[in-house]
Structure 1
Amino acid sequence: MDVESFDFELPEELIAQTPLSDRTQSRLMTLNKETGEIGHHTFKDLADYLKAGDLLVLNDTRVIPARLFGLKKDTGAKVELLLLKDLGDNRWEALVRPGKKIKTGAELVFGTQAEADEPVLSAIVEEEGEMGARIVRFSYRGIFNEILDRLGEMPLPPYIKEQLNDRERYQTVFAKHAGSAAAPTAGLHFTEEFLEGLRGQGVRIAFITLHVGLGTFRPVSVDRVEDHNIHAEYYILSEETARLVNETRAQGGRVIAVGTTSARTLETAAGLSHSQGYIDGEGRTLLHACSGWTSIFIYPGYEFRAVDGLLTNFHLPKSTLLMLVSALASRKYILHAYAEAVKNRYRFFSFGDAMFIYSSQSRK
C-alpha cells in the first residue's frame, strides 16, 4: 500500500495553535463508516449519537513536562533533554540536543545556575540508543515528578508554534497516571459535566492507560505502508475495563474508543486474548486484564476485534493515525471527509476539532 495515497492538502492556517476557551465548544464531524454519510455539529452533539448501553473508553494518561534544559557539568554548555520512555530504575530513553556533543558518560545538571554545584536533578548518559536517542540515569533530591513539574516544560508537538499559557489545557480532565510525552488529544474535548451527562443517559465510561510517546509525531519515511515500523508505547488495560468491554459487547452495546491510543490499546488486548483462545460461544473475543509494550500498527485491511466506533481529532497527512482511521471506515470515506473538513474550515491536529466515526450496530 502506497504511503502517498494517504496524502491530502491542508492549509497551514487550519492547524489549531491554541485550545478553545471552552473544551466542549469545538466542532464535531460525524462519519457513518458504513455509508460515508457526513454530519456537521458541535462537540456537545456527540451525546445525540450515543445510546444507553454504549461504552466510552478513554485514556487516563497524564502528560509530563518532559522537556528539560540544563548544562553539561564539565563545560557548562547548554543542553536540552526530551524524555521519551520511562525504563524504570530512574532510567529514561531521551532525545538530547546537541546530540553530537552528548556522548556516553556525559554528566548533565538541571535547575537554576545557583543550583548547578548541588543540583536537585542530574543525569548521566549510560548509552546511545536508536535514532539518536540516549539512555540516561537520573539522580535527584526529592520526588521526581514534583521536580519535573518545577523544572520541565510541556513538549508540545512541532506544528504548534505558540506558547501554551495554561499547562492544564494540554491535559484531559481525567488525566491520572503520569508518563506521556504528548496528550491523548481526543480526550481534551471532554469536561466533567459532559461526562456526567453521558452517564446520566446510560452511557458507560471506562479507562485504559497508554503513555503516548513522541514517536506518534514521527513521519512515515518509507514508500510502502507495510514497511513502516511503529514506535512502542506502554499500556495498561485493567480487569474492570476488560469486564465492561465484554459486558457491553455481550449486551449489544457499542465500544467507542476515545482517541487512537484507546483504540490501539483495546485492539492490542483483543489480539492477545484472541491468540490465547479467550472466545465466547458467539465467537466474540473476550478481553482480559493485561499490560506491556505495544507497537500495533493498524492500517486498511486490519480486522477490528474490539472497537465499534472512534472519537478522534483530525490527523496529519500520510501519518499512521490517518491510516488507523482509514482502517476503521475506509480510505475513500476518510479522505472525502477530510476534504469536507478543509472546505468547512475545521481546525486540525492536537488543539483542533473532532471526528466521530460510528456504526449503528455493535460488532458481532
Structure 2
Amino acid sequence: MLPVRDLDYDLPEALIATRPAEPRDAARLIVVDRSGRRFDEMRVRDLPEVLREGDVLVFNATRVLPARLMGRRVGTGGNVEGLFLSSSSPGTWTCLWRGGHLRAGVEMAMVTPAGEDSGVVLRLLDRAADQAGAWRVAVLGAAADQPAETVLSFLGRTPLPPYILRARGRSGQCLDEDFDRERYQTVYARQEASLGRGAAGSVAAPTAGLHFTPELLERLDRVGVRRLEVILHVGTGTFRPVESEWVENHVMHEEWCSIDDGTLRELEQARARGRRIIAVGTTSARTLESFAMAAQGGAAQATDQPPIMAPRRLATRLLIVPGHRWRWCDGLMTNFHLPRSTLMAMVGAMLDGGVESLRAIYLHAIGRGYRFYSYGDAMIVLPQAAGEPRHAARLTGE
C-alpha cells in the first residue's frame, strides 16, 4: 500500500508556470530511464535525438472545450461561476457551480469572455445524480436547440486550472482568453463525437501534448517515429487530490476513452515487432492500460497484446500505482504534477524505484528551477535495454 504522504513535496510558488514556454517545444525536459538512477536535461525540441526509428508515440487527441462559465443571477445580479461538464441532449447540460444558496429554479444570465450579455440564460433543474456538486440545467431561449459545443464557442472561457488563475491573480497578470484558448490546446486536437454521458470534449488539457509543434511532429516523422492517437476526455477529477490515507483507497473518477480499429491494429503490430510504445501524457497511458485490462474482461485476464477484439470505447476508473504491471506502455512523457495526486502515483509506477525515484527527480527539477504543472516543463521515462548507451548529458539553452 502507498501512503499518500509519500506523494507530498514543497514547491516554491515562483515555479508554478502561469504561461507556457515560447515556442511550445522550448520547454525543458528531463530524460530518465526506468531505473531512475541517471537522467539527462534538454529541451522538448530535442526529442528526435533521444527517440529512435520504430518508436511509437501515443497522443491523446481530445479537444479542450471552453467550459468555464461566468454570469449573473437573474433578479439579484450576483456573480456566478461554473464549469460545463456534459450535455445529455441539446438544451440540457450538467454543470458544476461555485457558490451557495443554489436551488432548483434559479436562473443565471451568462456573459461572454468580453463581459457582454450573451443572451443565454441557464435554469437550475436538479442535482445531478452521478456527479457530486453538479446540477442539471436547462438552456433557455434560441440557444436551447443548439449543440453545447456551438453555444460554448461564444459563451465559454478556457477552463484553466484554478492554481494558474490564483497564481496569475497574485502576480497581477491579466487574463488573455485568446491566448489561452490557443495555448491550452494541443496542435493536433480534434473534435470528437460524444463517447458517453454527453462528454464530447475535455475540461482540462492533456498537458504533455501542449509541448508539441507541427515542426517537431514533422521532425519526429522524419526520424521514423510513428504517431498514433487515442481519445480520453479529461474530467474534473484529474485535479482532485487523494484524500484517503492510502492511495489505493482513493475513489477514482470516471473518464471516457476510445481507440479506433486502425490504431488497435498498429498497436498490435508494434508489440509483435518489439517496438517501444511511449504514451504522451498520463491520459494516453491510462487509455492504453484501460483497454489492455478490459480486452479480456478485467485485470486477471489482461493481455500484453492489443487484440482487434478489444472494445472501441469504454469508461475507465483505472488507478495506476507502483506495482502496476504495464501492458501496452513502455515509456511515458508527462509534466510535473500536483502533490498528493493520482498522476504522481502513475508516474511513480513507471519507475523501478517507484515514488522514491520520482521524488528524487522532482527535487532535482525544483533545484534546477523547472516550471511545474499544466503550463510547465516535462519529463520522459524511457525503457533502456541492457548495455544500451546513454544519450550524452547536455544542458540545452541554459
Q: TM-score, normalised by structure 1?
A: 0.90
Instruction: Judge conservation of contact 2:282–2:346 (CA < 8 Å) in 1.
Output: yes
Alignment deviations for residues 189-223 of structure 1 (CA, whole Å, 9 cap, x no partner): 00111111111111111111111112111121111
Q: Aligned residues, how many?
A: 356
Instruction: Judge conservation of contact 1:81–1:97 (CA < 8 Å) in 2.
Output: yes
Which runs of structure 2 are paired with 1:51-90 in the superposition (5 Å)? 51-73=52-74, 75-88=76-89, 90=91
The AA in structure 1 aligned to 2:29 is L
C-alpha deviation, 1:292, in angstroms: 2.5
Which runs of structure 2 are paired with 1:180-191 in the superposition (5 Å)? 180-191=202-213
Gaps of 5+ in 1: none
**Deviates further, 298-307 or 159-168:** 159-168
The AA in structure 2 aligned to 1:230 is M
Q: Distance in 1 between matches of 2:106 and 2:259?
A: 38
Alignment deviations for residues 79-125 of structure 1 (CA, whole Å, 9 cap, x no partner): 22211244455443321132x32213333332479868xx3453442
The AA in structure 2 aligned to 1:180 is S
Q: Indicate the residue corresponding to 2:122 in structure 1.
A: 122
Q: Indicate the residue corresponding to 2:369 in structure 1.
A: 345
Q: Distance in 2 between matches of 1:88 and 1:273?
A: 30
> In structure 2, which of residues 239, 244, 263 is the aligned counterpart of residue 217 of structure 1?
239
Gaps of 5+ in 2: 169-174, 192-199, 387-398
- Give secondary structure in 2 for the equivalent of 1:126: strand
Segments of 4+ moved more than 6 angstroms: none
The AA in structure 2 aligned to 1:40 is E
Alignment deviations for residues 1-36 of structure 1 (CA, whole Å, 9 cap, x no partner): 210011122111111111122001011101111352
1:175 aligns with 2:189: yes
Q: Indicate the residue corresponding to 1:286 in structure 2.
A: 307
> In structure 2, which of residues 220, 230, 241 is the aligned counterpart of residue 208 of structure 1?
230
**Deviates further, 135-144 or 63-72:** 135-144
**Deviates further, 85-94 or 172-181:** 85-94
Instruction: Judge conservation of contact 1:103–1:128 (CA < 8 Å) in 2.
Output: no
Alignment deviations for residues 235-279 of structure 1 (CA, whole Å, 9 cap, x no partner): 111112111111111111011100000000111111111337685
Q: Distance in 1 between matches of 2:147 and 2:3?
A: 47
Q: Distance in 1 between matches of 2:212 and 2:116?
A: 42
C-alpha deviation, 1:63, in angstroms: 1.0
Instruction: Judge conservation of contact 2:258–2:314 (CA < 8 Å) in 1.
Output: yes
Instruction: Judge conservation of contact 1:72–1:79 (CA < 8 Å) in 2.
Output: yes
Q: Indicate the residue corresponding to 2:161 in structure 1.
A: 157
- Give secondary structure in 2 for the equivalent of 1:347: coil
Q: Indicate the residue corresponding to 2:253 in structure 1.
A: 231
Instruction: Judge conservation of contact 1:121–1:147 (CA < 8 Å) in 2.
Output: no
C-alpha deviation, 1:76, in angstroms: 4.3
> In structure 1, which of residues 224, 243, 252 is the aligned counterpart of residue 274 of structure 2?
252
> In structure 1, which of residues 120, 125, 145 is the aligned counterpart of residue 149 of structure 2?
145
C-alpha deviation, 1:74, in angstroms: 5.0
Residues 114 and 46 of structure 1: is their aligned pair in 2 closer, same or farther, counting only changes over 3 Å?
closer
Q: Distance in 2 between matches of 1:337 and 1:3?
A: 18
**Deviates further, 157-166 or 8-17:** 157-166
**For the aligned residues, what is the CA RMSD?**
2.3
Residues 104 and 262 of structure 1: is their aligned pair in 2 closer, same or farther, counting only changes over 3 Å?
same
The AA in structure 1 aligned to 2:160 is L
The AA in structure 2 aligned to 1:149 is S
Which runs of structure 2 are paired with 1:7-22 in the superposition (5 Å)? 7-22=8-23
Q: TM-score, normalised by structure 2?
A: 0.83
- Give secondary structure in 1 for the equivalent of 2:275: coil
Q: Distance in 1 between matches of 2:385 and 2:92?
A: 46
Instruction: Judge conservation of contact 2:71–2:108 (CA < 8 Å) in 1.
Output: yes
The AA in structure 2 aligned to 1:158 is P
Q: Indicate the residue corresponding to 1:110 in structure 2.
A: 110
**Deviates further, 213-222 or 130-139:** 130-139
Q: Distance in 1 between matches of 2:224 and 2:8?
A: 39
Which runs of structure 2 are paired with 1:259-298 in the superposition (5 Å)? 259-275=281-297, 284-286=305-307, 288-298=310-320
Residues 47 and 232 of structure 1: is their aligned pair in 2 closer, same or farther, counting only changes over 3 Å?
same
Instruction: Judge conservation of contact 1:19–1:169 (CA < 8 Å) in 2.
Output: yes
Instruction: Judge conservation of contact 2:255–2:317 (CA < 8 Å) in 1.
Output: yes
Instruction: Judge conservation of contact 2:338–2:344 (CA < 8 Å) in 1.
Output: yes
1:311 aligns with 2:333: yes
The AA in structure 2 aligned to 1:70 is G
Instruction: Judge conservation of contact 2:267–2:306 (CA < 8 Å) in 1.
Output: no
